[in-house]
Amino acid sequence: MKSFSQNQLRDYSTLFSRNEAQAWLKCNFQSLKYKIARYDNDWLLGKKYTYNDYLKYIYSILEFNYANEYIIKNSFLNEWLIPEKGKDNAIIFNEFRVGKSVADLVIFNGTSKVFEIKTEFDSDKRLELQIENYKKIFNEVYLIVPLAKLSTYTKFDRSVGLISYVTKREQKFNIERPCEVNYNIDSFTVMDLLHSNEYKTLIKKYYGLLPEMTSFNQFEKCSLLMQKIPTEKLNKLFIGQMKARNNSNELSRRYFRELNQLSLSLKLNKIEKQNLVKNLNKCLND
């Protein structure tokens, strides 16, 4: 079986980044050509491969040998979240900011769920603050962690669910500890997360009308009203507002599954995803 150095794997992993995907949308494949010339000329000899074929080849290498954040995120998307996307008008967000923390993956369907991914290369230094922030707004909080480091994360807040994984493609994600469901969300955090038109819509849905206000005092007035909404009702209204956001990301478990996380990160719609795939399906030898 072919072996790869850590430097080579790290170099391969740079292909799955926002900047690279943006270049492919412009038919700029210099980085792909560079990797082939540096590592894989023998792979290319005598064959009519596409750029997408090469990316699939690199992705499979990374799955088995270098489970960085992109691979884990993309695998979790494919196995767990995309199957949920068609249910209850679910909406998925990548890198969702809550206070000073940025959640790796978030899904809103009947409830709100947040997933924080820790790879073998990550530390748990900021995790307590992240959990504290996430619990203010999400019904379910999960950590996705390497099975080999599971004991490191069991010491954290026991209301947080733990999902383990191993760094081999044939393995699945497993729930090691269920999370406690919490509907007691924080109204101040809701106000910070929603856009002005969204929190005004929420207030109007609950009270039937908006208070007299100006652009200068609307945040303060709506915030005071939001604090008076029962938390379980506020939770439902908040989820409804998040699901109403225009998020038409094209995600598929069957086709070009290697690109789902890139598509989510770049917020590609169906036409943009099709253009990306069309560009990557060009022959390497052309």
Specify whether 236 is located in the same domain as 268.
Answer: no
pTM for the model stands at: 0.92
Of 120, 150, 177, the position where a domain reaches its end is: 177
Q: Give yes or no: residues 111 and 98 share one domain.
A: yes
- Tell me the pLDDT of the chain averaged across its residues: 91
Q: What are phi and psi of 87, to 5 degrees?
A: -100, 130
Its domain, for residue 88, covers 70-177
197 and 142 both lie in a single domain: no
Give me the mean pLDDT over the 154-175 stretch.
Answer: 85
276 in a structural domain: yes
Tens of pLDDT, residues 65-77: 888 899 999 999 9
- Please identify, among 134, 154, 177, the residue that sits at the C-terminal boundary of a domain: 177
pLDDT at 221: 97
| Final residue before a domain boundary, out of 156, 177, 198 | 177
pLDDT at 248: 65
Q: What is the pLDDT of residue 254?
A: 75
Phi-psi region of 204 (alpha: psi -120 to 50; beta: other; left: phi over 0): alpha
The answer, yes or no, to whether residue 286 has pLDDT greater than 70, is no
Distance of alpha carbon 277 from alpha carbon 53, whole angstroms? 11
40, 11 Cβ separation under 8 angstroms: no
Mean predicted confidence (pLDDT) in 20-47: 90
Query: What confidence tens digit (pLDDT) does each residue in 245-257 have?
Result: 866 667 877 778 9
Rounded to the nearest 10 degrees, what angle do helices 30-39 and 6-13 cross at? 160
- Asked if residue 153 is part of any domain, the answer here is yes
Q: pLDDT at residue 100 above 70? A: yes
Q: What is the pLDDT of residue 1?
A: 61
First to last CA, the chain: 30
pLDDT digits (tens, 9 = 90+) for 131-144: 999 999 999 999 99
The mean per-residue pLDDT over the stretch 221-245 comes to 96
